[in-house]
Amino acid sequence: MIRFEHVSKRYDGGHEALANVSLEIRHGELLVLAGHSGAGKSTLIKLIAGLEKPTAGKVWVSGQDVGSLRQNQLPYLRRSLGLVMQEHRLLTDRTVYDNVMLPLLVTGYPPRDAAKRVRVALEKVGMGTFEKAMPLTLSGGEQHRVAIARAIVNRPSVLIADEPTAHLDPAYAREIAALFRSFHAAGVTILLATHDDTLFSPYGARRIELAKGRLLA
C-alpha cells in the first residue's frame, strides 16, 4: 500500500530529516510511528502526501511513485488519503458542517449525497449535534474530532494522522485512540505518528520508531 525505498530527505538549510528509510505499510494495517519531536515523523507524512519530495529514494503509494507525480496528479493522490494534521487546520470562519463538507466540494461530489456523507462522518466522530458550531467555540478534543471527520468524509483507503492525541487530556486522547481503532476495524489502513504510542498498544498496532531521521530496528 505504502512503501519507502531507501528514502532520505534533506531540507534546503542542510538539515537531514530522514536518512535511508525503508518501510512498508500493508493494506488494512494499523501502524504506529513513534518518535520524539524532530525525529522525522512529520516529514515522512509529508512525503506520503506529496507535500515534499525525497532527496533520495522512492515513496510508493498505491503503486504510484509519489516523487515522480506531476503537480496536476498530486490532488488525486491526496484525495485517496485522509490527512489529520497536528494543528487541525480547520477554517475558523466556517461552521463544523462546512469544514467537513470541504473535501467533498473539492472533489466535486454531488451536493445532495455530500450532505448525507457529512452527517454520517460527524456522527462517526460523535459530533453530530455540532453541525452549526464554529470551530473556535469547540474544545481542543472536539476540534480534533472535526478534523478527523473531515479526513474520513471522502472514505479514504488510508488514514494518516500526525500527533492525533497531542495536547489532549487523557480522557479525550483515549476517545480519539478508540476512534482510530474503529476505523481500522472497518478495514482502513492507518498510519499514526505519535510521540506517545502507549494509547495504541492495546489495539495490536505494529510499532516502528524513528530517531533523528533513522528507523530504529
Partner 1 sequence: MSFLPHGMAFRQALHRLAGKPLSTLLSALVVAIALTLPALSYVLIDNLASLANGVTGKPEISVFLKKEVTAEKAQAMENRLRADKRIVAIRFIGRDTALKQLAARGGFADVTGALSENPLPDAFILEPGGEDPKVFEAIRTSLTAMPEVLHVQLDSAWVERLHAAVELGRWVALLLAALLGTALIIVTFNTIRLQILTQRHEITVSLLLGATRAFVRRPFLYFGLLQGLLGGVLAWGMVQGLVLLIAPRVQALARAYNIVVDLAGPSVWQGLALLVFAAVLGWLGAGLSVRRHLHDGAVD
Query: Could you list the residues that contact partner 1 (CB under 8 A)?
Result: 49, 51, 71-72, 75-79, 83, 85, 89, 91, 102-103, 105-108, 110, 150, 154
Nearer to partner 1, 107 or 198 (CB): 107
* Closest of 60, 39, 42 to residue 51, by C-alpha: 42
* Closest of 212, 216, 213, 194 to residue 30, by C-alpha: 194
Nearer to partner 1, 110 or 170 (CB): 110
Nearer to partner 1, 73 or 139 (CB): 73
CA distances from 78 to 20, 75, 84, 107, 131 (A): 24, 5, 12, 11, 25
Largest Cα separation within the chain, whole Å, is 49
Shortest distance (Å) from residue 79 CB to partner 1? 4
Shortest distance (Å) from residue 122 CB to partner 1? 16
Shortest distance (Å) from residue 108 CB to partner 1? 5
CB 200 within 8 A of CB 194: yes
Give me the helix-helix angle, 140-152 and 111-124, nearest 10°.
140
Shortest distance (Å) from residue 191 CB to partner 1? 16
Amino acid letter, 166: A
Nearer to partner 1, 87 or 169 (CB): 87
Nearer to partner 1, 144 or 150 (CB): 150
Name the phi and psi angles at 153, rounded to 5. Answer: -60, -25
Nearer to partner 1, 41 or 181 (CB): 41
Nearer to partner 1, 49 or 205 (CB): 49
Shortest distance (Å) from residue 106 CB to partner 1? 4
Shortest distance (Å) from residue 212 CB to partner 1? 23
Give the whole-angstrom CA distance, residue 115 versus residue 100: 10
| DSSP character at residue 21 | E
Cell of 114: 455530500
Give the whole-angstrom CA distance, residue 177 versus residue 185: 12
Shortest distance (Å) from residue 6 CB to partner 1? 25
Count of residues for the chain? 217
